[in-house]
Amino acid sequence: MSAVQPLPTDDAGRPLFELPDELAIDTDVARRVISGFIQGQLRQAGFERCVLALSGGIDSALVAYLVAEAIGADRLLCVMLPYRTSSPASRSDAETVIADLGCAGELVDISPMVDGYFGSNGAAGSGGEAVSEASAIRRGNFMARMRMSVIYDRSVTFGGLVVGTGNKTESLIGYTTVFGDNACAFNPIGDLYKSQVRQVAAAMGVPRQIIAKAPSADLWPDQTDEGEGAFSYPVLDRVLYWRIDRRRETDELVAMGFDRGLVERVERLVATSEFKRQVPPVAKLGPRTAGVDYLYPRRRPGSARS
Amino acid sequence: MHPLRIALAQVAPRLGDLDANLERHHALIQDARAGGAGLVVFPELGLTGYQLQDLAAEVAMRLDDPRLARLAAETRELSAVVSFVEEAGDHRLFIAAALLEDGEVRHVHRKVFLPTYGQFDERRFFAAGDVVRATPSRLGLGIGIAVCEDFWHLQMPQLLALDGAQVLINVSSSPGRDLAARNEVGLGTATSWRTLMRTYAQLTGSFVVFVNRVGVDESMTFWGGSEVIGPSGEAVFSAPFFDDDLYLVDVNLDEVRRERIALPLLRDERLELQARELGRIIAERAGMAADTTADPGAEPGLDVSPRTVAPAEPIRLRPRRRVARGQP
């Protein structure tokens, strides 16, 4: 085993992305683990199908390929959920994935849902005048939650579990919308850093243009993750890996050559987003409280849908 | 020639579903017998699944449970190691592994070391066993049974071998993690286990039989990779990772004799020395004897003084000799 394929290159022979040495994983083992994980989650829940929101970006594209590998493309529904300002290139990349896999695809335009609240063309929406000046962040979070609503509705009609598509990097720095894009029944790539998502995507044959393009939440035109956050994914991934997986202190990271300002900023992001990664606490009152001292596996005999 | 065919049941139990797992055990014991095996080994908590949490009490069996007796009844002229949650008479729950032979429960090992760190929380749900014993068996040589984390402590394989075991059996539910590409098998957990098992086999001159489960409980994926290691420390058989299957492995138990004569490490163990030094360390740790090896300033029971935890400069244990130099 221990397969490290050469990285894919562009037409000029340059690698499509940078993969830090310490982050390189055995993609064969990763695929095997993830495949079994997806099959196990479905079996234990009594489901045979999956639904996911396909944006055209690398994370959801990779999850689509992983689900197709685990259970077959005929049991997968990919839903494209663009807003009217979403990039046309994202839509076309998503369609490429659906065509390549041969899975079911649907398009749901969320513009009327979003505009219905915030208003459009000068007319107030159901949120009233007060929300019409809402910031891009508020609108972006609202869009993420509208997508969540649609995907969970489609999960009923298609009879599939909602598969999460968030990666470890964005989860750790909190670059997610709580109850929005992080909502799912299970997540097969939530322990893969962005660099590792790219590595597995390359090994699985995710289309090159999806691997090569700059990651973006696509919440407003020309937004990019790295532009918005002023970081590069390979460096951010390395900081998180050494800080969290390998338990290195700030001073040790600085001694390794990382910029102190960056390390401290990353630490703040991780700390301030702790709440996004956990189930909300329940006020402890009774003798036995879910998540505190009532601790059962999520799936157990009798819990599967019959 | 003392041949033995060992069946490694590298299975994926269903979490909390005792009936389904019992049925699978019955079927695999029959398969093992049909395949000519004299010993069949199932993984840790193969009858219940691993990530039980509060389900542990609901799937627990007492040693006189008729379901266990029915499983034992399958073992005429056969040895089987099965693992389950045992409820003791005082209602403590143990992670148990039992040797079933000729229709009886011949021996029970209760997991001694319960990992409660990182992704593990066993001490919350289970009591730790206090007894380590090798057991004679119908195979004609001593068996030592350990459960998973028991093998991450040097004393376990040593005690079992010194107590007469020539075949050390470890049943595990080891979740795979650390998929680093630089690792030779792509899985850090597997490499660590392989190093341990080869070392134990060689240092004790014993066979090591390792059966690790596969499948998924919640977030954890168990990696399988069950093995039989010969007493020279070389692998006789290594099962694939992640596959659910029954593997038959032929060994010659005479290898133990050959190896223990050629490399008599176990013969040369110094038990009285170990017991004496352990007695001293125990008394010192309890603060009941002056600690002769402690740093200056260490509290009773602690070998290390607070100021030596992170020394700003190297500690000098003896005063430096003053050397007069360059004086007029």
The domain ranges of chain B are 3-273
Helix or strand run (H / E) with residue A79: strand A76-80
pLDDT for residue A3 is more than 80: no
Side by side, the strands of the sheet bearing B3-10 are B104-110, B93-101, B79-87, B39-41, B3-10, B245-252
* pLDDT of the residue at B317: 56
Nearest CA-CA partner of B80 in B100, B96, B63, B66: B100
Q: Does residue A65 belong to any structural domain of this protein? A: yes
Q: What is the DSSP string of A92-130?
A: HHHHHHHHHHT-EEEE---HHHHHHHH-BTTB--TT-GG
* Chain-chain contact of A40 with B216 (C-beta, under 8 angstroms): yes
Exactly one of B86, B101, B111, B284 is catalytic; name it.
B111
Q: Does residue A265 belong to any structural domain of this protein? A: no
3-state helix, strand, coil in chain A (%, to 5): 50, 10, 40
Exactly one of B74, B87, B101, B148 is catalytic; name it.
B148
Mean pLDDT of B191-218: 97
B187 touching A (Cβ < 8 Å): yes
Q: What confidence category does residue B316 fall into, taking pLDDT thresholds of 50, 70 and 90?
A: low
Q: Which residue has the tokens 């395949």?
A: B35
Total H helices, total E strands in chain A: 12, 4
Average predicted confidence (pLDDT) for chain B: 93
3-state secondary structure of A211: helix
Which residue in B has a C-alpha nearest to residue A33's C-alpha? B221
Q: Does residue A195 belong to any structural domain of this protein? A: yes
Structure tokens at B140: 């004609």
Compute CA distances B191 → A294, B80, B138, B153, B176, whole Å.
36, 27, 33, 17, 10
3-state secondary structure of B231: coil
* pLDDT of the residue at B169: 98
Q: Does residue A288 belong to any structural domain of this protein? A: no
Assess contact for A28 and B186: CB atoms under 8 A. yes
| Count of CB atoms situated within 10 Å of the CB of A144 | 22
pLDDT for residue B182 is more than 80: no
Mean pLDDT of A99-111: 98
Q: Which residue has the tokens 């244990």?
A: B317
| CATH number belonging to the domain at B3-273, selected among 3.40.50.300, 3.30.70.260, 3.60.110.10, 2.60.120.260 | 3.60.110.10
Q: What confidence category does residue B324 fall into, taking pLDDT thresholds of 50, 70 and 90?
A: very low
* pLDDT of the residue at A5: 67
* pLDDT of the residue at B75: 97
Query: How would you classify the pairing of strands B93-101 and B104-110?
Result: antiparallel
Evaluate the CA torsion angle B122, B125, B131, B136 in order and state its sign.
Answer: negative
* Chain-chain contact of B185 with A2 (C-beta, under 8 angstroms): yes
Q: Does residue A290 belong to any structural domain of this protein? A: no
Domain extent, residue A180, equals: 21-225
Nearest-Cα distance to chain B for A151, in Å, is 23
Is B148 part of the annotated catalytic residue set?
A: yes
Mean pLDDT of A163-186: 96
Which carries the bigger pLDDT value, residue B61 or residue A300? B61
Q: What confidence category does residue B309 fall into, taking pLDDT thresholds of 50, 70 and 90?
A: low
Q: Does residue A16 belong to any structural domain of this protein? A: no
* pLDDT of the residue at B328: 42
Nearest CA-CA partner of B239 in B248, B250, B230, B252: B248
| Count of CB atoms situated within 10 Å of the CB of B122 | 20
Q: Does residue A1 belong to any structural domain of this protein? A: no
* pLDDT of the residue at B147: 98
Domain CATH code at residue A141: 3.40.50.620
Q: Does residue A257 belong to any structural domain of this protein? A: no
Is B44 part of the annotated catalytic residue set?
A: yes
